[in-house]
Amino acid sequence: MAKLIPVAPFDLIIFGGAGDLAMRKLLPALFHRDRDGQIPPQSRIIATGRKAISRDAYLALVHTALAKSIGDTDADRAHWQQFAARLTYVELDARRPASWNELSGLLAEHTDRIRAIYLATPPDLFGPVAAGFRENALMLPDMRIVLEKPVGHDYASARDINDAVGACFPEQQIFRIDHYLGKETVQNLLALRFGNALFEPLWRREVVDHVQITVAEELGVGNRVGFYDDVGALRDMVQNHLMQLVCLVAMEPPASLDDDAVRDEKLKVLRSLRPMTTMDVRERTVRAQYRAGAIAGEAVPGYLDELGKPSDTETFVALKLDVENWRWSGVPFYLRTGKRLPVKHSEIVIQFKQVPHRVFDPASHDPIPNRLSILLQPDEGIKLRIMAKDPGPGGFNLRPVSLDLSFEQTFGVRYPDAYERLLIEVLRGNPALFMRRDEIETAWQWTDGILASWQDARQKMETYMAGSWGPTAAALLLDRDGRSWASEG
Ligand code: BG6
């Protein structure tokens, strides 16, 4: 692994510091970066929240949350003391001016180090927190503000939030997180496409039959059900994570990896998405909700049982989209994502076309087109399906074989969680892996069209059994085009 360079001393202020995201992702990520020596000792992690919690009680909460991340060795356990020394908890309600005093006092102690704010809160607080920093004279020239997704609920609310935060911080200092951009294999997609001469000439409509993106989750909505019911799978996953994957697959080679060079190319893809009419939405999208079922032999409840009331929120979406440009015209992109599918499995599939002419005996050769699979999780890797001759003298029989690259076996390292990388990028002040305002708003405009048509057309809510691969309608979406989802094959 490349040598890890420490970041400069910082104060990181986490709003929502006792919340789910902080406990599950942010603090474990910081713990790991600290253990690897990337966090200078004088740095502070200042968690804030509306609840009054003593520092000891907060440390106990963090320690419990980190239980899985802290290994069993003496060194790991010893490291907890060092990490805990960096943590402080401050009670703060961003909307009450008087409650900023304690934080202001703490920050005044160090005005010569990096100051970064992480908003792990609902988006309606993004504007008030940004304004609170300005009104309390807590701004430093090069500070950064991180906005956790979702940035808004639709295009209009995203624009309002961006305006409110933008009134206090210039765009280069606003880091909008999509944690998929910090995943190792997602970054490897750039390496695969632009670090190899091999694939780029094939990455186009003349050779590619279609693209599939699956982000399947085994988990249900769990204790996030209240939040999730206002959101649904299209807003929670498609508008951001899946759109970003579409962009990285479909974009033109950027001139460099500079932040704006990559983001400009992604934006062009978003602008090339063909808007869906109500008719398209009916024919090309599937929305569904899970019912009770079983996963890995365990019975699991349905979405409505978990929620405890009727709901029209989708937990699964499948859709077919078109990227209308010279490279991709006529190549469908099929996307699907859902909760309570049989396994956690995310994959991008580039399905190539059939060979143009058959030279082998049709009796001994069922031609199967090449397929490149980029496995995002849980086992990161790349597979290329090619046809090979069956060994031996029995004639010219072909069969598909797979060239497999498992990143874990090849590199033999623990892959850092996406948040580890992204937090370090924030502290270094590098926005390349974060979404620019125009990207987020363009993605919202496209998904808003689908949401509106779902309402206009009273789009049917399909159901699927927990533990299945979604409703039959999702299989039919491809079946009608003579295709099928790769991950179930
Ligand atoms: C989050 C969504 O952004 O991504 C969650 O809000 C989802 O609903 C999660 O479970 C999936 O992330 P990952 O990294 O587990 O694929």
- Tell me: the pLDDT tens digits for 380-434? 899 999 999 888 887 788 889 999 988 888 887 767 889 999 999 999 999 999 9
Assess contact for 257 and 251: CB atoms under 8 A: no
Assess contact for 355 and 367: CB atoms under 8 A: yes
| pLDDT, mean of residues 79-101 | 95
- DSSP-derived 3-state class of residue 295: strand
Q: Which protein residue has the closest C-alpha to ligand 1 atom 10?
A: 217
- Tell me: the pLDDT tens digits for 33-64? 999 999 999 999 999 999 999 999 999 999 99
Q: Is the model's pLDDT at 488 over the cut of 80?
A: no
Task: Report pTM.
Answer: 0.94
- Tell me: the pLDDT tens digits for 194-206? 999 999 999 999 9
Pairwise CA distance, residues 178 & 118, whole Å: 13
241 assigned to active site = yes
Q: How far is the CA of 369 from the centre of ligand 1 (A)?
A: 32
Q: How far is the CA of 160 from the centre of ligand 1 (A)?
A: 24
Which atom of ligand 1 is nearest to 418's Cα?
14
**pLDDT over 90 percentage in the chain:** 82
Pairwise CA distance, residues 15 & 386, whole Å: 50
- Tell me: the pLDDT tens digits for 142-190? 999 999 998 999 999 999 999 999 999 999 999 999 999 999 888 889 9
State how far the alpha carbon of 10 is from the alpha carbons of 6, 47, 56, 134, in Å.
11, 14, 22, 19
Annotation: CATH topology of 10-148: Rossmann fold (3.40.50)
Which atom of ligand 1 is nearest to 224's Cα?
8
Please list, residue by residue across 195-215, b when 16 or more beta carbons sit within 10 angstroms of its beta carbon and e when fewer do. eeeeeeeebeeeebbbbbbbb
Q: Which protein residue has the closest C-alpha to ligand 1 atom 8?
A: 236
Q: Is the model's pLDDT at 72 over the cut of 70?
A: no
Pairwise CA distance, residues 62 & 121, whole Å: 18
Q: Which protein residue has the closest C-alpha to ligand 1 atom 4?
A: 237
Which atom of ligand 1 is nearest to 180's Cα?
14
Give me the residue spans of the domains in the chain.
10-148, 181-416+437-479
- Range with top average pLDDT, 106-120, 350-364, 383-397: 106-120
Could you tell me the pLDDT band of residue 489, with boundaries at 50, 70 and 90? very low
Residue tagged active-site, from 32, 210, 241, 365? 241
**What would be the CATH architecture of the domain defined by 181-416+437-479?**
2-Layer Sandwich (3.30)
Pairwise CA distance, residues 358 & 369, whole Å: 12
Q: Is the model's pLDDT at 366 over the cut of 90?
A: no
Ligand 1 neighbours by CB, cut-off 6 Å: 149, 179, 217, 236
Q: How far is the CA of 309 from the centre of ligand 1 (A)?
A: 24
Q: How far is the CA of 440 from the centre of ligand 1 (A)?
A: 17
